[in-house]
């Protein structure tokens, strides 16, 4: 790594040693470190160490996508499946970028769907 002046890290939310690595590379080795990653998961919970390294950063740029439903700036992700684990690798088939309004509306739809599906499971199992 001695020959490198700049280090780029993508999908930073998946690196467990992100904080220590960035600290070492920037503070001790004098490297310029450019990090890209998600600051939150589909439930807007902190994802990996991305929020922790903001304290180490000289500057931070929050990027957005376009809301798939209305075209406004999209800061959030809506998961289209019932899977609940934080790390579910997928693209447009699993996630869609959404604006705040459609995130909030989407969470209501997802929760309502879950409740309806669970009540049907209970009805089905009681019929069996």
The site for Zn ion (CB under 5 A) is made up of 67, 69-70, 72, 99, 102
Question: What residue number has its CB nearest to Zn ion?
Answer: 67
Query: 35: part of which helix (H) or strand (E)?
Result: strand 32-35
Nearer to Zn ion, 70 or 116 (CB): 70
Least distance in angstroms from the C-beta of 103 to Zn ion: 8
Name, in order, each residue with C-beta under 8 angstroms of 51's C-beta and a sequence gap of 6 or more.
39
Nearer to Zn ion, 48 or 106 (CB): 106
Distance CA 119, CA 13 (A): 35
Nearer to Zn ion, 15 or 76 (CB): 76
Q: Give the tokens for residue 30.
A: 């004098």
> Of the residues 11, 24, 83, 87, which is catalytic?
11
Assess whether 82 carries a catalytic annotation: no
- Nearest CA-CA partner of 92 in 63, 61, 65, 72: 65
Least distance in angstroms from the C-beta of 80 to Zn ion: 15
Least distance in angstroms from the C-beta of 110 to Zn ion: 15
Handedness of CA 39, 73, 84, 11 (dihedral sign): negative
Which residues have a catalytic role annotated? 11
């Amino acid at each position: 790594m001695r020959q490198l002046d700049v280090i780029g890290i993508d999908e930073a939310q998946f690196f467990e040693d992100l904080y220590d690595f960035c600290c070492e590379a920037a503070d001790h080795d004098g490297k310029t470190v450019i990090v890209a990653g998600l600051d939150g998961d589909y439930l807007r919970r902190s994802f990996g160490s991305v929020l922790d390294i903001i304290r180490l950063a000289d500057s931070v740029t929050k990027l957005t996508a376009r809301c798939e439903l209305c075209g406004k700036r999209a800061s959030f992700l809506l998961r289209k499946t019932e899977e609940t684990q934080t790390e579910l690798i997928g693209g447009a088939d699993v996630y869609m970028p959404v604006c705040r309004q459609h995130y909030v509306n989407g969470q209501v739809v997802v929760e309502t769907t879950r409740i309806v599906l669970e009540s049907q499971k209970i009805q089905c199992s009681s019929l069996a």
